[in-house]
Chain A
Amino acid sequence: MSDGGARILDRGYRRYDGHRTGVAGSFRTLVVHSMQRALGLKRSAAQKLLPGLAVFIAYVPAIVFVGLTVLIQDTLLANQNLVPTYADYYSFISAAIVVFSAFVAPELLCTDRRTGMLGLYLASPLTRNSYLAAKATAVVALLALVTLGPPLLMLVAFTIIGQGPDGPGALARVLGEVVLGGVAVAVLPASLSLAASSTTTRKAAASAAVILVLLASTAVTETLVEEAGAPAELFCANLLGLPFELVRRIYGEPSPDVAVAGIQTGTLIAAYAGWTLLFAGFTWLRYRRLAVDR
């Protein structure tokens, strides 16, 4: 035989008659791959920076509060306001939520169109609908990483150190509230982010649009309600504040804003669902009519 300089020139071609995972497998693969991409996994360090920073900002307050609870438990018991409630926690991480909302969907949708991957996906068992559903699942799951993870971490940590809810029933109730609250904060920004990303192949433009809409809706509605005496229901157009207020209703905590506190919970839920469906429907329509580059 030849010496160590031998090279493989042709490995031939083998047919595959093994198991195939079907459409469900395609869907799952796209969700996982999208999440990995957005988090910068298997990518360069620079591409891990922004998602890493957002996740770090989201989890740091939770870690600090748990640490404080362990270290100065007596002081905290005397001053219960030192550690925020689960509902209040979101005000500490709103910046991380805005950044992540603005970053994730553009990374997943705009990139696929710009790099021609959308054409390859649609030539697979995926359809436009299942493609969009997989991307939406990935975006909500990624946002839940910052909206659900930290309160969940606090709940688990407080329970372990004996500062959590009393009894299994209370624990189950708080766990349900944490999950529902985390999902509520994730879904509306996710749908807005998907809608913005469906309009352009430029990630930066889509990200800027998401941030602009979230901040502008907050500034405009607060000015109109607080300064111009507009009806309090206009708060329903505050796309950043609306999910946070809904979370307070989930936990049964009063709103710090008296005017907002007077809005019926049903009105808030209807507004939340309406915005979410509007953005999701817009995204669906955009992709239904999108000419795929082949």
Chain B
Amino acid sequence: MGDGVSAPARTVAEGAGLTRRFGSTTALDGATFAIPSGVTGLLGANGAGKTTLLGLLLGLHRPDEGELRVLGLDPTRAGPEVRARIGYAPEHHRLPPDTRAHDLVRHIAEIHGLPHRDATNRASDALWAVGLGEERFRPVGSMSTGQRQRVKLAQAIAHDPALVLLDEPTDGLDPVQRDDMLALVRRIGSEFGIDVVVSSHLLEEVERICDSAVILREGRVVASGAISELTGQGRGVLVEVDDRPEEVAGRLLLRGFEVSVDGFRLTVHASPDHEPGAVHDAARDAVVDAGVGLRRLSDRTASLEDVFLEVGA
């Protein structure tokens, strides 16, 4: 924010103890989460419960147990009202092949409650926004996979939703198209001011564009929070010295820190019991006390993939 004071993140959706069963299969098993404003990644392997959770957010399923609020409403009771404020882009690429992109986007905008004239104008704007301005009167069937992904994105934002749900938005795209699509999704979340939930199994993508993530495994939320929290801050520090790393490690061990040594590089693990910044101070002091040169001192960060593996997702 311009004044340097960050406002508390608004919660777009939150669930507590959500359980959803389909026959003998438990798709969601007591999932508890909070999705803040911004761009949030919904991560998990196939069958982890991502699609079921999207269905719950849209009010298409009723949870067997637990409570859910989306945009301040209970989607099981106010499904149409919630869905009127949500844009949704499905994973599949099948769209009516003989329909022009502009007609499709306008129609979905009208279905979401926009009057015909406004829907017409906004359909054009949305297609321009996703980079299909010049192609907007082409039949969807004549478009490439990348263009269809953009059409799906355009129909999801044309009615100016408060929240957009994107299911695997880069599926089927080549690397260049994927970069463009990710930039577009990021732009929707930041520049357009629309909160976004991206369901994906591609960790690197989520890490690149998301502010936060919810990681699912076998229907349970195994990790959630801001990407910065999940991947780094508070996890410890990396220290690289020019001599006697074992001595530095010994001094850190005496101070109560867990340390692993790899050559001249030490990884110092912080635990939640330690004060913020204590690990940095301890590393500095250990290096000074050992009388060795310091080559590097940095936060110990992990990729989202490390987090993913760590929680067993």
Could you tell me which A residues sit within 8 Å of B by CB distance? 8, 10-16, 18-23, 25-26, 29-30, 33, 42-44, 47, 111, 114-117, 119-127, 130, 292-294
Contact = CB atoms under 8 A, between A and B. Distances in A.
B122 A115 contact: no
A44 B141 CA distance: 14
Contacts of B129: 10-13
Given A16-B118, A25-B113, A42 B159 contact: no
Given A8-B128, A8-B133, A120-B155, A16 B111 contact: no
Contact of A16 (B108, B110, B122, B133): B122
B69 to A, nearest CB: 18
Given A15-B160, A20-B84, A121 B111 contact: yes
16 contacts: A12-B129, A13-B125, A13-B192, A16-B114, A20-B84, A20-B114, A23-B80, A43-B98, A115-B94, A115-B97, A120-B108, A122-B58, A123-B90, A124-B111, A125-B111, A293-B92
A223 to B, nearest CB: 43
A127 B81 CA distance: 11
A294 B111 contact: no
Given A119-B90, A292-B60, 5 more contacts: A16-B160, A21-B110, A26-B111, A116-B94, A293-B92
Main SS at interface, chain B:
mixed
Contact of B125 (A11, A44, A117, A294): A11
Nearest to A42: B103
Nearest to A44: B98
Contact of A30 (B55, B79, B84, B111): B111
Nearest to B124: A11
A15 B54 CA distance: 24
A11 B133 contact: yes
Contacts of B80: 23, 26, 125-127, 130
B269 interface: no
Please provide the 10 A-B residue pairs with the shortest distance between their CB atoms, ordered closest to farther.
A20-B113, A16-B160, A123-B88, A125-B80, A116-B94, A29-B110, A13-B192, A115-B96, A125-B84, A124-B111
A159 to B, nearest CB: 35
A47 B98 CA distance: 10
A43 B129 CA distance: 26
Which one of A15, A22, A114, A120 has the highest number of Cβ atoms from chain B below 10 Å of its Cβ?
A120
B90 A116 contact: yes
Contacts of B88: 120, 123
Contacts of B165: 123
Given A25-B113, A115-B95, A123-B58, A18 B81 contact: no
A21 B92 contact: no
B234 to A, nearest CB: 36
B91 interface: yes
Contacts of A10: 128-129
A33 B103 CA distance: 10
A238 B95 CA distance: 39
A123 B165 CA distance: 10
Contact of A125 (B81, B91, B96, B125): B81
B94 A114 contact: yes
Contacts of B79: 127
Contacts of B107: 29, 33
Contacts of B84: 20, 22, 124-125
A19 B115 contact: yes
B97 A124 contact: no
Which one of A18, A29, A111 has the highest number of Cβ atoms from chain B below 10 Å of its Cβ?
A29
Nearest to A20: B113
A130 B79 CA distance: 12
Contacts of B83: 123-125
B112 A294 contact: no
Contacts of B195: none
A293 B191 CA distance: 31
Contacts of B193: 15
B86 interface: yes
B159 A123 contact: no
A15 B90 CA distance: 23
Interface string B147-179: 000000001010110000101000000000000
